[in-house]
Amino acid sequence: MSNRSKQITKKVGMPPGTILHVGLHRSEKAKIKMLCYRGDNWVENEFDQVNELIKQRDTEEICWIHISGIHVIDVIENIGATFHIHSLILEDIVNTNQRPKIEDNKEYLYIVIKMIHCYDNKKVEFEQLSLIVGHNYVLSFQENENDTFDQIRDRIKSTTGKIRTKGSDYLAYALLDCVVDHYYIALEYLGEKIETLEDKIMLDPKPQVLKEIHTLKNEMLFVRKAVWPLREIINALARGDSLLFKEDTLIYIRDVYDHMIQVIDTIEMYRDMVTGMLDIYLSNVSFKLNEVMKVLTIIATIFIPLTFIVGLYGMNFKYMPELEWEWGYPAILLIMAVISGCMIIFFRRKKWI
Amino acid sequence: MSNRSKQITKKVGMPPGTILHVGLHRSEKAKIKMLCYRGDNWVENEFDQVNELIKQRDTEEICWIHISGIHVIDVIENIGATFHIHSLILEDIVNTNQRPKIEDNKEYLYIVIKMIHCYDNKKVEFEQLSLIVGHNYVLSFQENENDTFDQIRDRIKSTTGKIRTKGSDYLAYALLDCVVDHYYIALEYLGEKIETLEDKIMLDPKPQVLKEIHTLKNEMLFVRKAVWPLREIINALARGDSLLFKEDTLIYIRDVYDHMIQVIDTIEMYRDMVTGMLDIYLSNVSFKLNEVMKVLTIIATIFIPLTFIVGLYGMNFKYMPELEWEWGYPAILLIMAVISGCMIIFFRRKKWI
Amino acid sequence: MSNRSKQITKKVGMPPGTILHVGLHRSEKAKIKMLCYRGDNWVENEFDQVNELIKQRDTEEICWIHISGIHVIDVIENIGATFHIHSLILEDIVNTNQRPKIEDNKEYLYIVIKMIHCYDNKKVEFEQLSLIVGHNYVLSFQENENDTFDQIRDRIKSTTGKIRTKGSDYLAYALLDCVVDHYYIALEYLGEKIETLEDKIMLDPKPQVLKEIHTLKNEMLFVRKAVWPLREIINALARGDSLLFKEDTLIYIRDVYDHMIQVIDTIEMYRDMVTGMLDIYLSNVSFKLNEVMKVLTIIATIFIPLTFIVGLYGMNFKYMPELEWEWGYPAILLIMAVISGCMIIFFRRKKWI
Amino acid sequence: MSNRSKQITKKVGMPPGTILHVGLHRSEKAKIKMLCYRGDNWVENEFDQVNELIKQRDTEEICWIHISGIHVIDVIENIGATFHIHSLILEDIVNTNQRPKIEDNKEYLYIVIKMIHCYDNKKVEFEQLSLIVGHNYVLSFQENENDTFDQIRDRIKSTTGKIRTKGSDYLAYALLDCVVDHYYIALEYLGEKIETLEDKIMLDPKPQVLKEIHTLKNEMLFVRKAVWPLREIINALARGDSLLFKEDTLIYIRDVYDHMIQVIDTIEMYRDMVTGMLDIYLSNVSFKLNEVMKVLTIIATIFIPLTFIVGLYGMNFKYMPELEWEWGYPAILLIMAVISGCMIIFFRRKKWI
Amino acid sequence: MSNRSKQITKKVGMPPGTILHVGLHRSEKAKIKMLCYRGDNWVENEFDQVNELIKQRDTEEICWIHISGIHVIDVIENIGATFHIHSLILEDIVNTNQRPKIEDNKEYLYIVIKMIHCYDNKKVEFEQLSLIVGHNYVLSFQENENDTFDQIRDRIKSTTGKIRTKGSDYLAYALLDCVVDHYYIALEYLGEKIETLEDKIMLDPKPQVLKEIHTLKNEMLFVRKAVWPLREIINALARGDSLLFKEDTLIYIRDVYDHMIQVIDTIEMYRDMVTGMLDIYLSNVSFKLNEVMKVLTIIATIFIPLTFIVGLYGMNFKYMPELEWEWGYPAILLIMAVISGCMIIFFRRKKWI
């Protein structure tokens, strides 16, 4: 958390449009994957730098250019120059602490969203994905070089999918849909964690569990912060605010919107459930205290009077007639048994035993 | 919860419009019940598959086609082809994790809602119902093959009901009304559970009760999540957004809307009451602890000084004049009685006894 | 609560417009009070059934027809037929679980509100009042036969009030105003209960008090649920949505609206206060526990070391030189006094005494 | 609180426009202060009753008529007759339980607000101020006869202030500004109380403090209830809804509006702070309990085993070899010292000491 | 807090437009820094008083006049006279308790915002910055004479920045951007404090930590109060409400707006996290109590019965056969060992050990 803000404070006072990478370096160098298609044809290329193929691409085709490794500033700047992208937007692309947002620049649409990864079901990780959707191209920017979008690449290359018959707006939809689908994996992970914690709470409520609840709650705060603004973005698309998105793509966008709402609903429900778990935890702790106290009270309450009695006859007074009686000892044993019995009946009544 | 999300994650990365069933299989095979009526006539049929009767139905009649067993994909696809339904909507019909929603497709209206069943007053169960309302037909899709809508079927067949004189919009209303009416049964079930728990809390607050409160709270969260979006759907209908719903049906829709508001109000009130129960539970637990501590304190506080005194005269010092006194023993007994009396008066004052 | 829902579930699956009474029977039979007036004249009648006098009333006069005993279905149906009231509205009139609402039917206005009675300051009770406001008549329906509206009747009959110079809208206002005025009595009752409980909490916090707080809280939930929707209703009237309410009546409606806002503000404030009481209760309970523990700790901490010392010199070792000393016993008494003194000083410092 | 509602219930069932004083009598008799000014001239008069001077005032001048003692109904009625004020508004003026509101009557503007007094920094007190702002007059009504507005009177009489060059809207602004300025005094009082309580909580958390927090919280609820609606009123004025307020006065009204927002912000912040104090109080109480328990546990845990050991060698068995050993007594003392040492080390580790 | 309100109450009753400094004096005397630029030229001057240079500045140039030391009223008044600024605005400039706001006066735009400083990472401090943005000038007012804006001054003077090619609106943007950038430093400070406290809570939950949480919470309340209104201000600018801000500057303003949203989101998230910390603190405290109680209970429960037994055989009855048995002592030792063993097994089962 403070790491992140430290990186931001590096930028304090810089003039606007300064393209400075903010975030972790997660890939060695930049990689550009370019996939152009129209009707039955498609061509795929991969470069390390912006080159002539990109600059002189066939404007009749739809081109998807995916850049990973956004910390390599000069690649980003070259792409920006090629596609006439505003320097403020380039600045946002390389600053990975953006809040998800959409900006309509007439020429192109700029969308920032957060991808959520759950590597090995250990931890939720966030990665910023920037999309530039133009009339006949889509640029996608991320830091990591992972395989999230391979499925979409395969669908484009395969003959069956209808993606090749559609425009750049449909490709942008496919990317958004893929990101939102991955949110369900994060939800699954959170849901399982809730179940595990619920069991732990009932069986063994110790501070460790509380800390896990706290961590889970904070994780949800972060997921929520990443997901919530997306609703507004996709809603703006679904309303047809942008001319780049054609009428027949909007129905797909609305489908993504429905998924978003469901994701948000589920997160809110999970938050309510986690809050409820905290109550149960606290109550279990105090119930256990109660039980401990009961045992102490029962033992102490039975034996303290008895100990007094035996102490009484341990006194060394010269004139204590009971001590001389032949049946004194058995009598005192009997009296103590009666006292214990009364105590136990009293506790039974109080429902402590 | 994680079950559900696991099933959803099966779908991650699939192209849109992939018709894949998500949910539990609750019926062996698909069953299609077709009931067509106009004025005085009605015909009822039942098939396993989409056949010519459906394809060549009389377009003058209102046809209600009820499909149970939505996991049988090819039936759904055939129905979709017959009624020209968009593949995204077919995808939603078989995916039983939809959030309740309404979609107006000009040709037809697509409505998803959740039915709530309370079998044997044991547990609340949810089932997705999809409605496609066309100009002269209503399609309804669910997984289970239960008798929820038999009453409506009977009303259509009987001579008295006016349903046969109305259009497909009135039939859709009747189905919605029936679903919302069943919500009251769920409310009744929840209301009874609240009453039972309130009694248990006052009589015997143990962690088991807390767990039941927690389960009830989560059940309410799920009911709320299922019911809440319906309000918006029925409101959209009541506003007359859709041309398929005629003016004189809207008054009935508004009636359903009033019921919805009442259901939601009641759920919100129940939630407040359950939250209040938690406070009472916790407070009762701490009050019991208090009582336990009082008993311990009273017993210990009275006997600890006495035990000290008897210990005092159990010492073996050679020169202890009191031990030689003839009235030493009775005197010490008297002193101890006085001390006990003072203690008891002190506790009375503190209102501990 | 479950009583209520049970009665509603009776209705599940019935066709709309089925006029079925839902609620408690609180009066033996139906009673119709008819009061017609114009300018200086007024006539009052009372029947058991709808008769010709009602059917052929003078349309130049304003007629107020008050029906008590809405469980007598045929009276309601006759009234409905006479005044051409929609069957759905008749259904709502006899179903006493309606949420307060307003419906504008062009011909007439249908208003449902909740009256709140506080018989003997014991409990808050709710009763549904339905109003049908037509061009020259007002129908009012309730189950009980009580004297709430006698004041209005008197004002109509007396020469001084201006009510006789006004139309049916002013009469409807007078009835609404009377109902809202009675809310203040409920507020007074709740306010007094809060004061009583505040005293009890400070003096003697026991679970009984907690239960009373809980009951009060639930009562407020019910009052709130009954009152809250009224705000919207009266606001709709005050905005002049309905043509039946003339311009010069609106100022009176706005007056009622102000009262409503005040009632709602007060209820919200009471809720905050009751929530605060719960905190105080819980804190008082834990403070008392604290006090109990302090007494125990002080007594135990002083005497446990002393008891150890006297036990020490109660040992039967052969070679214990102290036992032989002449001043052994006084010395040990002195040592114990010093220890006790130190303890007491320690507790003083800790501010436990 | 119940006092207030009792007074309101006096009015239940009365016809609208009944002018009945509701509230405390705080002044002996009514007093009318009339101050008329135009350009360089001003005249001030004081009466007990409405007289010809008021009725035949110069309509070219701005007249400010301040009435204190609103429980004197006939004065109010005379004023109402002179200025043609609607009876419902007169009713509101004398009913001191109004919620702050604004009503635009074309001829004049009616504003009700609450003044907050803090006499001697002891308690917050509320007083209702009603303003009637006409074209060339301002009527102000309050119960008390205090000196709140003397500053404005002085500014009118002095030559420097520009108030004499402005219209009745500016005078109304000056009065509102004066009332809002006094809210800061109440805020100061509340802020000081919060500081005092924060100190008390850290030093000595006893139930008395809790009660003070509770009282403070309730006081804030009342202040909030009085202040909150004012925001809407002044906003309505600032928007220029009323034609009586000229364009060049609106900038002053917006200034008051800014103050209002600040007052409300501060109250909300204070509420958050008081809620935080409650948490601290409760936590301090439980921390103190913890400390008490630690002392008890340390003392008891050290001495209970030792007491057992000394009891062991106090047994009167005939054959107990240790008792005969010459070094038995010192050995046992040593053993007990070792046990105590271990205990203390254990507690050190647990960080209890 | 009360300091602040005390200063405000000084102003109660003063006529509007009275220019009275409210706040701390933090600089000796006023200092005016004037920086005028156009295209390639720039001139910088520094005065103590308003002089001819300011009055006769070149209207073709953009002039940035920065005044520090707003407690020097006559400087402010002279500036006000030179630039024809309304007296109410001058009053707001010197009153440092303003809520952030924007006022559009056609001639110029008046903006008040709060700067947040974190000197030495010790404490958050607030300072009011007032901006007057005219057609060709920007006036900025603050009390302190610090170096916050030196970066902007450098960018103006350097040849590279494009700021010199832009108008006064861009300069205003640069100042706002600089202030918002400094908010990240405050966020970083708060984030680090949260991390530190989280560690402290897990390791050593004592009231001191609670107090720190409380302080942190209050600090966040103040930051939030300072930052929240800024959102509305920048939104108003971004919407293009003011004609002074040209179309091509709006994209920069929207950039600042995104930062604002992010700052607010982060503060809200921090608040949720701090609230979570409080729960953990309280729970840790009660867990520790639990642990303490367990140790006490285990020790007491094992030794109390044993102490009773040894007391039993310390009685001085004449006829106690066991005392005479040769193996009595070892037997009793064995019995006590068995009892202890049972106890320990019992505790193991209860999972107390």
Inspect the interface and report whether the beta carbons of E282 and D284 lie closer than 8 Å.
Answer: no
Taking the C-alpha atoms of residue C187 and residue C223, their distance in angstroms, rounded to an integer, is 9
CB B136 within 8 Å of CB B64: no
Q: Which residues of B touch C268 (CB under 8 A)?
A: none
pLDDT at B175 over 90: yes
Inspect the interface and report whether the beta carbons of D323 and C300 lie closer than 8 Å.
Answer: no
CB B315 within 8 Å of CB C329: yes
- Kindly identify which residue of chain D lies nearest to residue E8, measuring between CA atoms: D184
Mean pLDDT of C46-51: 83
pLDDT at D1 over 50: no
Summarised one tens digit per residue, pLDDT across range C99-126 is: 898 988 888 999 999 999 887 767 888 9
Three-state DSSP class for residue E37: strand
Q: In this complex, is the C-beta atom of D334 within 8 Å of any C-beta atom belonging to chain C?
A: no
Interface-testing mutation among E154, E255, E308, with chain A (most A C-beta atoms within 10 A): E308
Q: Which residues of E touch A97 (CB under 8 A)?
A: 262
Reported as a pLDDT band with limits 50, 70 and 90, residue D12 is low
Mean pLDDT of D13-28: 72
Mean pLDDT of C270-293: 81
Give the pLDDT score at D130.
94
Q: In this complex, is the C-beta atom of C204 within 8 Å of any C-beta atom belonging to chain B?
A: yes
Give the pLDDT score at C117.
87
Determine the distance in angstroms separating the CA of D155 from the nearest CA of chain C, rounded to an integer: 35
Taking the C-alpha atoms of residue C352 and residue C339, their distance in angstroms, rounded to an integer, is 17
Reported as a pLDDT band with limits 50, 70 and 90, residue E160 is low
Taking the C-alpha atoms of residue B89 and residue C222, their distance in angstroms, rounded to an integer, is 42
D327: phi then psi, degrees, rounded to nearest 5? -95, 15
Give the pLDDT score at A179.
92
Q: In this complex, is the C-beta atom of D342 within 8 Å of any C-beta atom belonging to chain C?
A: no
- Which residues of D, range 79-118, sit inside 8 Å of C by Cβ? 86, 88, 92, 97-99, 101, 103
| Arithmetic mean of pLDDT over chain C | 84
Mean pLDDT of C299-303: 86
CB E263 within 8 Å of CB E184: yes
| Arithmetic mean of pLDDT over chain B | 84
Q: In this complex, is the C-beta atom of C319 within 8 Å of any C-beta atom belonging to chain D?
A: yes
Listed in sequence order, the residues at least 6 apart from B301 whose beta carbon sits closer than 8 Å to its beta carbon are B343, B347, C295, C296, C299, C300
pLDDT at D204 over 80: no
Q: In this complex, is the C-beta atom of E121 within 8 Å of any C-beta atom belonging to chain A?
A: no
Question: Beta strand pairing status for B62-68 and B137-142?
Answer: parallel
Q: In this complex, is the C-beta atom of D303 within 8 Å of any C-beta atom belonging to chain E?
A: no
Summarised one tens digit per residue, pLDDT across range B32-79 is: 999 998 888 888 888 888 877 777 777 788 899 999 988 888 889 889
Summarised one tens digit per residue, pLDDT across range B258-272 is: 889 889 988 988 988
Mean pLDDT of D285-303: 82
Q: Please report, rounded to a whole number, the percentage of residues in chain B having pLDDT higher than 90.
A: 16
Q: Please report, rounded to a whole number, the percentage of residues in chain D having pLDDT higher than 70.
A: 95
D345: phi then psi, degrees, rounded to nearest 5? -60, -45
Amino acid in position E144: N
Amino acid in position C17: G
Reported as a pLDDT band with limits 50, 70 and 90, residue A321 is confident
- Which residues of E, range 208-247, sit inside 8 Å of D by Cβ? 210-211, 214, 217-218, 221-222, 225
Reported as a pLDDT band with limits 50, 70 and 90, residue B325 is confident
The domain ranges of chain A are: 2-283, 313-349
Q: Which residues of A touch B86 (CB under 8 A)?
A: 251
Q: Which of D145-149, E42-46, E331-335 has the lowest mean pLDDT?
A: D145-149
Q: Which of C62-66, D265-269, E128-132, E209-213 has the lowest mean pLDDT?
A: E209-213
Give the pLDDT score at E8.
52
Q: Which CATH number fits domain E294-349: 1.20.58.340, 3.40.50.300, 3.30.465.10, 1.10.357.10?
A: 1.20.58.340
Give the pLDDT score at E64.
92
Inspect the interface and report whether the beta carbons of B290 and C291 lie closer than 8 Å.
Answer: no
User: Which tokens is B151 given?
Assistant: 């009453």
| Arithmetic mean of pLDDT over chain E | 84
Summarised one tens digit per residue, pLDDT across range E327-344 is: 888 888 899 999 999 989
Listed in sequence order, the residues at least 6 apart from D199 whose beta carbon sits closer than 8 Å to its beta carbon are none
Reported as a pLDDT band with limits 50, 70 and 90, residue E66 is very high
Mean pLDDT of D147-170: 84
Q: Indicate the helix (H) or strand (E) that contains A102.
A: strand A101-104
Q: Please report, rounded to a whole number, the percentage of residues in chain B having pLDDT higher than 70.
A: 95
Determine the distance in angstroms separating the CA of B212 from the nearest CA of chain A, rounded to an integer: 11
Mean pLDDT of A191-210: 82
Give the pLDDT score at D74.
87
* Ramachandran class of D106: left when φ > 0, alpha when ψ lies in -120 to 50, beta otherwise: left
- Kindly identify which residue of chain E lies nearest to residue D196, measuring between CA atoms: E2
Give the pLDDT score at C10.
54
Q: In this complex, is the C-beta atom of C12 within 8 Å of any C-beta atom belonging to chain B?
A: yes
Reported as a pLDDT band with limits 50, 70 and 90, residue D2 is very low
Q: In this complex, is the C-beta atom of D20 within 8 Å of any C-beta atom belonging to chain C?
A: no
pLDDT at A176 over 80: yes
Superfamily in which the B293-349 domain is placed by CATH: Magnesium transport protein CorA, transmembrane region (1.20.58.340)
Three-state DSSP class for residue C68: strand
Taking the C-alpha atoms of residue E24 and residue B344, their distance in angstroms, rounded to an integer, is 61
Interface-testing mutation among B147, B180, B271, B312, with chain C (most C C-beta atoms within 10 A): B312
Interface-testing mutation among C235, C266, C308, with chain D (most D C-beta atoms within 10 A): C308
From residue D317, alpha-carbon distances to A311, B33, C311, C318, D335 in Å are 16, 94, 16, 13, 21
- Kindly identify which residue of chain E lies nearest to residue A105, measuring between CA atoms: E251
Positions of E strands within E298-351: none
Classify residue D12 by its DSSP letter: T
CB C284 within 8 Å of CB D207: yes
- Which residues of D, range 240-269, sit inside 8 Å of E by Cβ? 251-252, 254-255, 258, 261-262, 265, 269
Number of other CB atoms surrounding residue E168 within 10 Å: 22
Reported as a pLDDT band with limits 50, 70 and 90, residue A138 is very high
CB C236 within 8 Å of CB D181: no
Classify residue D165 by its DSSP letter: G
Q: In this complex, is the C-beta atom of E279 within 8 Å of any C-beta atom belonging to chain D?
A: no
Reference A347, options A304, A298, A310, A289; nearest CA is A298
pLDDT at C172 over 90: yes
D142 DSSP β-pair partners: D68
Give the pLDDT score at B112.
93
Give the pLDDT score at E175.
93
Q: In this complex, is the C-beta atom of D31 within 8 Å of any C-beta atom belonging to chain E?
A: no
Summarised one tens digit per residue, pLDDT across range D87-119 is: 888 988 988 888 898 988 888 999 999 999 887
Give the pLDDT score at A349.
87
Mean pLDDT of B20-40: 81
Q: Which residues of B touch A319 (CB under 8 A)?
A: 325-329
Q: In this complex, is the C-beta atom of A301 within 8 Å of any C-beta atom belonging to chain E?
A: no
Determine the distance in angstroms separating the CA of E19 from the nearest CA of chain A, rounded to an integer: 33
Closest Cβ–Cβ partner in E185, E202, E319 for A328: E319
Distance of CA E253 to the CA centre of its chain: 24
Summarised one tens digit per residue, pLDDT across range C185-202 is: 888 889 888 888 888 887
Give the pLDDT score at B251.
86
Tell which wins on pLDDT, D3 or A132: A132
Give the pLDDT score at D129.
93
Q: In this complex, is the C-beta atom of C10 within 8 Å of any C-beta atom belonging to chain B?
A: no
Inspect the interface and report whether the beta carbons of B211 and A194 lie closer than 8 Å.
Answer: no
Give the pLDDT score at E341.
93
Reference D314, options B306, C307, A328; nearest CA is C307
Q: In this complex, is the C-beta atom of C74 within 8 Å of any C-beta atom belonging to chain D?
A: no
Reference B149, options B176, B187, B122, B110; nearest CA is B176
Summarised one tens digit per residue, pLDDT across range B156-172 is: 888 666 788 888 999 99
ipTM: 0.72
Quickly list H helices, D108-246: 150-157, 168-203, 207-238
Give the pLDDT score at E4.
45
Give the pLDDT score at D105.
82
Mean pLDDT of E250-263: 89
Q: Indicate the helix (H) or strand (E) that contains D78.
A: helix D73-83
Q: Which residues of B touch C2 (CB under 8 A)?
A: 188, 191-192, 195
Q: Which of A309-313, B70-74, C19-23, C336-340 has the lowest mean pLDDT?
A: C19-23
Q: Which of A304-313, E22-31, E263-272, E301-310 has the lowest mean pLDDT?
A: E22-31
Q: In this complex, is the C-beta atom of C345 within 8 Å of any C-beta atom belonging to chain B?
A: no
Give the pLDDT score at A335.
92
CB C32 within 8 Å of CB C69: no
From residue A47, alpha-carbon distances to A19, A52, B262 in Å are 22, 11, 62
Q: Indicate the helix (H) or strand (E) that contains A312.
A: helix A247-312
Determine the distance in angstroms separating the CA of D78 from the nearest CA of chain E, rounded to an integer: 31
Q: In this complex, is the C-beta atom of C280 within 8 Å of any C-beta atom belonging to chain B?
A: no
Summarised one tens digit per residue, pLDDT across range B182-215 is: 898 888 889 888 888 888 887 777 778 888 888 8
Summarised one tens digit per residue, pLDDT across range D211-245 is: 888 888 888 888 988 898 898 899 989 888 888 88
Taking the C-alpha atoms of residue C161 and residue E129, their distance in angstroms, rounded to an integer, is 62
Cα separation of the two ends of chain B: 50
Q: In this complex, is the C-beta atom of C348 within 8 Å of any C-beta atom belonging to chain B?
A: no
Give the pLDDT score at C2.
42
Give the pLDDT score at D5.
45
Determine the distance in angstroms separating the CA of E153 from the nearest CA of chain D, rounded to an integer: 32
Q: Which residues of D touch E15 (CB under 8 A)?
A: 155, 161-163
Closest Cβ–Cβ partner in C261, C287, C296 for D296: C296
Q: Which CATH number fits domain E2-283: 3.30.460.20, 3.90.550.10, 3.40.640.10, 1.10.10.10?
A: 3.30.460.20
Positions of E strands within D16-94: 31-38, 41-47, 62-68
CB A238 within 8 Å of CB A250: yes
Number of other CB atoms surrounding residue C160 within 10 Å: 8
Q: Which residues of C touch B166 (CB under 8 A)?
A: none
Give the pLDDT score at B338.
94
Q: In this complex, is the C-beta atom of C203 within 8 Å of any C-beta atom belonging to chain B?
A: no
Is the pTM here over 0.90, yes or no? no
Mean pLDDT of B248-258: 88
Reference C350, options D209, D352, E204, D288; nearest CA is D288
Taking the C-alpha atoms of residue B32 and residue B65, their distance in angstroms, rounded to an integer, is 7
Summarised one tens digit per residue, pLDDT across range B95-126 is: 888 889 898 888 899 999 999 988 776 788 89
Summarised one tens digit per residue, pLDDT across range A31-53 is: 899 999 888 888 888 888 887 77
Tell which wins on pLDDT, D282 or C173: C173
Three-state DSSP class for residue D113: strand
pLDDT at E77 over 60: yes
Give the pLDDT score at D199.
83
